[in-house]
Amino acid sequence: MNTPQVAIPAGFQVHVSNIGVKDTTDDFVVIAAGQPVAADGVFTRSRFAGPSVTLSRSHLIDHRARGIVIISKNANVATGPEGIANAAEISRLVAARLGCAASDVVLASTGVIGRQYPMERIIAGCAEVPADLGAPGTGGTDALAAAIGIMTTDTVPKVSQAVIGTGPARVVGIAKGVGMIEPDMATLITVLTTDAELPADELSTIFRRVMDRSFNCVSVDSDTSTSDTAVILASGAAGPVDPSEFEAALAEVAIDLTKQVARDGEGAETLIEVQVTGARDHDQAKRVAKSIVNSPLVKTAVHGADPNWGRVAMAVGKCATDTDIDQDRVIICFGDTEVYPRQLGESDLAALSRYMAGDEVVIAVNLQIGSGVSTVWGCDLTDGYIRINADYTT
Amino acid sequence: MNTPQVAIPAGFQVHVSNIGVKDTTDDFVVIAAGQPVAADGVFTRSRFAGPSVTLSRSHLIDHRARGIVIISKNANVATGPEGIANAAEISRLVAARLGCAASDVVLASTGVIGRQYPMERIIAGCAEVPADLGAPGTGGTDALAAAIGIMTTDTVPKVSQAVIGTGPARVVGIAKGVGMIEPDMATLITVLTTDAELPADELSTIFRRVMDRSFNCVSVDSDTSTSDTAVILASGAAGPVDPSEFEAALAEVAIDLTKQVARDGEGAETLIEVQVTGARDHDQAKRVAKSIVNSPLVKTAVHGADPNWGRVAMAVGKCATDTDIDQDRVIICFGDTEVYPRQLGESDLAALSRYMAGDEVVIAVNLQIGSGVSTVWGCDLTDGYIRINADYTT
């Protein structure tokens, strides 16, 4: 797995601790710059979005933030007025340690829904945030430690980095999330940091464009979280960069994290990449690709290396409102092998089964309607997913 | 399980045999009247609908049919021009035995996708259909035998009957289907028969209304089949009936079969009924109910009797385009127990877990927006589902 030691970009400091939200693993992470910096965030569109999401959305309206607090093992969702008050209090307490306005602190939470925060322990944890965190030497610089601190049922921490152009500016991202993953605006939680200097509006435009073709293209189980949060913070410490080089680096990190999330889906053993081409437009391509990658029957067939490609035809077909999809034009491939309309013999099916037994399965569908394309990522559905989720809170 | 000996209504005869489509279990069923009778059908809206669906849809345009042929263990889907020609040939061969036009024969198929029919065996099977089947004494009268003959991975045959008013006219239905169940117009295959006499247009209106609140309200795995077919045949042998009494009997049979399908979902151990009330309209109620009953995280929580009710909040929340859903108004109950917004204590959670360990779990959500209601049925997601579907064709 991809778990290198990665330093956070210049201009940021990291604080990671265990405050006992659920157990003794790290569960409290603060990433902060030395002063408010250019920032943006995209969030779940869930109608049950939690207080962390609503608070952060309002705090990022000005596209500036000093830092982000991430609490894992408790989502603080469906917790009523008490949950809203608690989120506001945490932002105030951390802001007081950092020496900034509460509105410059972003908050993200992940974990069980419908339980109040253990506020006594969280208040104690906030008090231990280093004063003026973000100023040089006030905290740590280990992005991997932060990635570990935000894990819930993730089996591996997810961190990725890329150099912008020839450097020295970099993009470093961390992410968590293995279930309840069908992001509608972002994945469960990801924090992207860069020491590049960009105007806030340009940062925002590039960030949202990259999110749309990375985290918004992953699905583990079709269940959209109440807590999806993706935040970017740009310290500017490494000076100005070429925007297109920045976008390339940001996309590299975001897509790498997206694939790490898919590969670590709850119980997952196989990464599934679905490429749809020849669609009427991008939206149709993505709708068909999501239909395939979310199909429990496709996912279980991949798990069993069962060469039952007809289930991909089924998943294309169930996009019933796309009446321009014509089964006489559709081409379906697994890897480089066309499975439809070509009729497969027994030896072809055996070869297909061997291909499906690999670590990654690529399913490519050409609708032959237009030029719309989309690539999405997901994972197989295994008895491990059942085991993990049949006994989560108890 | 509900597997009584049930006689087909007056005016119909049944032919059931094994013709060796896949193995030695019954796989070829013909249900026919003695002459063309009032009939209708609703079908999958899949863009990969098979030749059985397209042929039957055209044969039922005149709302008349002599009978239906059901072939199990091979869906004849994604089989190209050869598959289309085979479907037409089967309808001609059976029509020749019955002594009717090919356009009075309806065809339904279920099983693996992407394989050609074993036509030599099917042609031999068609030759053994009794001449003039449907006339008194030409075949059998056992609806249970027909229900057994259309099974694929079903663990139990599904048959149901109801008397219309005080009789003697009855409704008798058979159904099959355990996976790839998210009917868009009907379930995988169900045949409803009655000896009631009704005008074809009235039969059609009532049939479609009942389908919408029965088979169109079940989901096992959110995967819409390419072969969904629901057909009704009314022999008229028992004379005219009161239409509202007929609708009540038809609904009783259809909902009973729907629940049998949900309860026998692949790997299922628990029937889940989701009742949404207080929606803006019926469509919204059904959308929210389907979101809950299809959520893998809700389904696994029910499987594990895990009182993680927050996942129901998540599933309501992910109906993100329903911006009138307000989490401060939503009420969520399991059985008679309110779980949200009420905060549950530890003893409440233990009681909830005991309730969830039962054979049936009712989840009721009141959106408090309007008066739209919908009830849908589904089942838990178990390792049995994974085992069945990871190794289906091989």
Cβ contacts (< 8 Å) between A113 and chain B: which residues?
A: 308, 310-311, 313-314
What does the alpha-carbon distance between residue B46 and residue A172 come to, in Å, rounded to a whole number? 43
Q: Say if CB A212 and CB A169 are below 8 A apart.
A: no
Of A114, A301, A327, the CB nearest to B78: A327
The verdict on a CB contact (< 8 Å) between A47 and B326 is yes
Cβ contacts (< 8 Å) between A341 and chain B: which residues?
A: 78, 80
Higher-confidence residue of B174 and A132: namely: A132
Burial class (CB in 10 A: 0-12, 13-18, 19+), B245: middle
Three-state DSSP class for A10? coil
pLDDT recorded at residue B392: 60
Please tell me if residue A393 touches chain B, with a CB cutoff of 8 Å.
yes
Q: Has residue A183 got a pLDDT over 70?
A: no
Q: What's chain B's Rg over C-alpha atoms? A: 22
The verdict on a CB contact (< 8 Å) between B306 and A221 is no
For chain A, give me the number of helices (H) and strands (E)? 11, 13
Nearest CA to B111 out of B79, B143, B140 is that of: B79
Of B226, B320, B392, the CB nearest to A306: B392
The verdict on a CB contact (< 8 Å) between B320 and A80 is no
pLDDT recorded at residue A216: 76
Nearest CA to B297 out of B272, B271, B315 is that of: B315
Cβ contacts (< 8 Å) between B86 and chain A: which residues?
A: none
Q: Say if CB A185 and CB A44 are below 8 A apart.
A: yes
Which of A174-178, A220-224, A252-256, B52-56: highest mean pLDDT? B52-56
| Binding-face residues of A in 54-83 toward B, CB within 8 A | 75, 77-78, 80
Regions of chain B with pLDDT less than 50:
1-2, 185-187
DSSP symbol at A333: E
Please tell me if residue A364 touches chain B, with a CB cutoff of 8 Å.
no
For chain B, give me the number of helices (H) and strands (E)? 11, 13
The amino acid occupying position A178 is V
Nearest CA to B292 out of B338, B385, B350, B361 is that of: B361
Query: Which residue carries 């263990």 as its tokens?
Result: B73
The verdict on a CB contact (< 8 Å) between A310 and B343 is no
Q: What is the mean pLDDT of residues A108-123?
A: 90
What are the DSSP calls for B54-104, one per residue? HHHHHHTTTSEEEEEEEEEEE---S-HHHHHHHHHHHHHHHHHHHTS-GGG
| Binding-face residues of A in 93-132 toward B, CB within 8 A | 112-114, 116
Cis peptide before B341 (omega within 30 of 0): yes
Q: What is the per-residue pLDDT across A24-73, written as a single tens digit (0 to 9) for each?
A: 999 999 999 999 999 998 887 778 888 999 999 999 999 999 999 999 98
What does the alpha-carbon distance between residue A325 and residue A280 come to, in Å, rounded to a whole number? 9
pLDDT recorded at residue A394: 52
pLDDT recorded at residue B149: 93
The pair of three-digit structure tokens given for residue A350, joined into one six-digit string = 């055996």
What ipTM goes with this model? 0.77
Please tell me if residue A320 touches chain B, with a CB cutoff of 8 Å.
yes
The amino acid occupying position A185 is M
pLDDT recorded at residue B180: 63
The verdict on a CB contact (< 8 Å) between A113 and B383 is no
Beta bridge partners of B163: B170
Compute the mean pLDDT over every residue in chain A, rounded to the nearest whole number: 89
- Residue in A386, A387, A388 to test binding to B, most B beta-carbons within 10 Å: A386
Q: Say if CB A357 and CB B357 are below 8 A apart.
A: no
Residue A276 backbone class (left: φ over 0; alpha: ψ -120 to 50; beta: rest): beta
The amino acid occupying position B280 is R
The pair of three-digit structure tokens given for residue A301, joined into one six-digit string = 């067939």
Q: What is the per-residue pLDDT across A286-318, written as a single tens digit (0 to 9) for each?
A: 999 999 998 988 999 999 999 989 889 888 988
State the first-to-last Cα distance of chain A, in angstroms, to the nearest integer.
29
What does the alpha-carbon distance between residue B58 and residue A155 come to, in Å, rounded to a whole number? 53
pLDDT recorded at residue A1: 40
Cβ contacts (< 8 Å) between B320 and chain A: which residues?
A: 44-47, 184, 224
Q: Has residue A267 got a pLDDT over 90?
A: no
Cβ contacts (< 8 Å) between B80 and chain A: which residues?
A: 341, 343
Of B224, B295, B339, the CB nearest to A318: B224
- Residue in B386, B387, B391, B392 to test binding to A, most A beta-carbons within 10 Å: B386
Q: What is the per-residue pLDDT across A356-379, written as a single tens digit (0 to 9) for each?
A: 999 999 999 999 999 999 999 989
The pair of three-digit structure tokens given for residue B318, joined into one six-digit string = 């992910």
Query: Which residue carries 């009855």 as its tokens?
Result: B170
Query: Which residue carries 């940091």 as its tokens?
Result: A193
Q: What is the mean pLDDT of residues A219-243?
A: 81
DSSP symbol at A132: T
Beta-strand pair A158-163/A170-176:
antiparallel
Q: Which residue of B has its CA nearest to A180?
A: B297
Burial class (CB in 10 A: 0-12, 13-18, 19+), B387: middle
Q: What is the per-residue pLDDT across B41-63, written as a single tens digit (0 to 9) for each?
A: 888 877 888 899 999 999 999 99
Query: Band of the pLDDT at A121, cuts 50, 70, 90?
Result: very high
pLDDT recorded at residue A331: 95
The pair of three-digit structure tokens given for residue A369, joined into one six-digit string = 């309607």
pLDDT recorded at residue A2: 45
What does the alpha-carbon distance between residue A1 and residue B20 come to, in Å, rounded to a whole number? 49
The verdict on a CB contact (< 8 Å) between B327 and A78 is yes
| pTM score | 0.79
The pair of three-digit structure tokens given for residue B293, joined into one six-digit string = 């009953």
Minimal CA separation from A226 to chain B, in Å:
6
The verdict on a CB contact (< 8 Å) between B327 and A45 is no
Cβ contacts (< 8 Å) between B319 and chain A: which residues?
A: 47
What does the alpha-carbon distance between residue B37 and residue B34 come to, in Å, rounded to a whole number? 8
Nearest CA to A67 out of A44, A34, A92, A41 is that of: A34
Q: Which residue of B has its CA nearest to A390?
A: B304
pLDDT recorded at residue A97: 97
pLDDT recorded at residue B1: 39
Q: What is the per-residue pLDDT across B94-116, written as a single tens digit (0 to 9) for each?
A: 999 999 999 999 999 988 888 89
pLDDT recorded at residue A181: 60
Q: Which residue of A has its CA nearest to B321?
A: A45
What does the alpha-carbon distance between residue B203 and residue B38 come to, in Å, rounded to a whole number? 8
Q: Torsion over CA of B144, B145, B148 and B150, rounded to 10 degrees?
A: -110
pLDDT recorded at residue B186: 40
Minimal CA separation from B386 to chain A, in Å:
6
What does the alpha-carbon distance between residue A197 and residue A195 come to, in Å, rounded to a whole number? 6
Q: Which residue of B has its CA nearest to A301?
A: B390
Nearest CA to A179 out of A144, A231, A218 is that of: A218
Please tell me if residue A326 touches chain B, with a CB cutoff of 8 Å.
yes
pLDDT recorded at residue A175: 85
Q: What is the mean pLDDT of residues A154-168?
A: 89
Measured in whole angstroms, how far is the alpha carbon of residue B162 from the centre of its chain?
A: 17
User: Residue B143 phi/psi, 5° resolution?
Assistant: -65, -30
Cβ contacts (< 8 Å) between B225 and chain A: which residues?
A: 314
- Residue in A117, A152, A314 to test binding to B, most B beta-carbons within 10 Å: A314
User: Which of A44, A110, A187, A224 is an active site residue?
Assistant: A187
pLDDT recorded at residue B4: 55
The verdict on a CB contact (< 8 Å) between B394 and A179 is no
What are the DSSP calls for A182-231, one per residue? --SSS-SEEEEEE--B--HHHHHHHHHHHHHTTGGGB-SSS---S--EEE
The verdict on a CB contact (< 8 Å) between B394 and A49 is no
Nearest CA to A218 out of A173, A268, A184, A192 is that of: A184
